[in-house]
Structure 1
Amino acid sequence: MIRIEVVQGDITAVRADAVVNAANSTLLGGGGVDGAIHRAGGPEILEACRELRASTHRDGLPTGDAVATTAGRLPARWVIHTVGPVWSGATDRTPLLRSAYSRSLAVADELRARVVAFPLISAGAYGWPLEDAVDVAVSTIRGASTEVEHVVLVAYGEAADRLLRAAVD
């Protein structure tokens, strides 16, 4: 069974085998978590992402999928980049959000990572309602078949922290 821990703060400072990046499909950096990871990790991450774009992901990383790169200067070995869906009130994109978590854990298994830090995927600029994002994250991680032993859910802000702690306890 996966041990889930909640911390509030900066995901770029979390010590883990792998840190999950809520990336955009270009893999070339952006705002929010994506920008913070690229800034803190340094140019090695961007270079590794460019190599992925040139070789296997010319059209970008599909929503719900995940890939890994070096973590550069982060206190982790790898960054697992995943693209979450943009929230829509008209279309249920929950399966894509679940896939972003599941695929990230599958990539972590391929890397043999045992401790993985996650942000709340899609809950920032992609507009996913916070309570639902928490429910999807926790239920997907708890239900996963994985070798990952410890997941750190990193809350950005007090509301996310409160909701995550309530869902995990």
Structure 2
Amino acid sequence: MGGHRARVTVVRGDLTTQQVDAVVNAANRRMRGGGGVDGAIHAAGGPAVLADCVARFPQGLATGDAGWTTAGELPARWVIHVVGPNHRAGERDRGLLVSCYRRALEVADELGARTVAFPLVSAGVYGWPLADAAQAAVETLASTPTQVEEARVVTFGDATDAAVRAALAGLPGT
């Protein structure tokens, strides 16, 4: 779809309270909720999110892929679930991390979402090195053709916020 690029922004805050069309969840392959961002989204979205995950993803979702569900009680309309690589478990293929952002934008285009809020995928419990996680996010979101107007990276904590802002400042033309 589309030939333009999203405007990449960074916001310090709570992913679950973003007023956007879609919020991206850093899910696990089972797609049944979990810790970190995944747990927060399921908790804030309520049981409808899990019910939709079970119905739409009976076999779960592959690492690097994305799919959508209802957002339940969240202010967003949809949750786009991505499964990032688990660096701590030896999944070190950066292509899988990049694929999460690309696929999320493709799913957003299918849904007609124009504003999408992203966490920093794989940078939490999955242990992807922070600076590289931020670089992969910002570069991919800034360079992938999409109909999404704003790709908002929502950061939690000083280190994550600083890493994303540094990656954004390093983009050509910014």
| TM-score in terms of structure 1 length | 0.93
Q: 2:89 and 2:35 mapped to 1: Cα distance? A: 23
Query: Residue in 2 aligned with 1:4?
Result: 8
SS of the equivalent of 2:30 reads: coil
Query: Residue in 2 aligned with 1:145?
Result: 145
Per-residue Cα deviation, 1:113-133 (whole angstroms, up to 9, x for no partner): 000000000000100010000
Deviation of residue 88 (structure 1)? 5.6
Within 5 A, what are the aligned runs for 1:1-169? 1-54=5-58, 58=59, 60-87=60-87, 92-169=92-169
Deviation of residue 25 (structure 1)? 0.7
Gaps of 5+ in 2: 170-174
Q: 1:130 and 1:148 mapped to 2: Cα distance? A: 25
Q: CA RMSD in A?
A: 1.4
Change beyond 3 A, Cα 1:90–1:122: closer
Deviation of residue 156 (structure 1)? 1.2
| TM-score in terms of structure 2 length | 0.91
Count of matched residue positions in the alignment of Structure 1 and Structure 2:
165
Give the share of equivalent positions with the same residue, in percent. 56
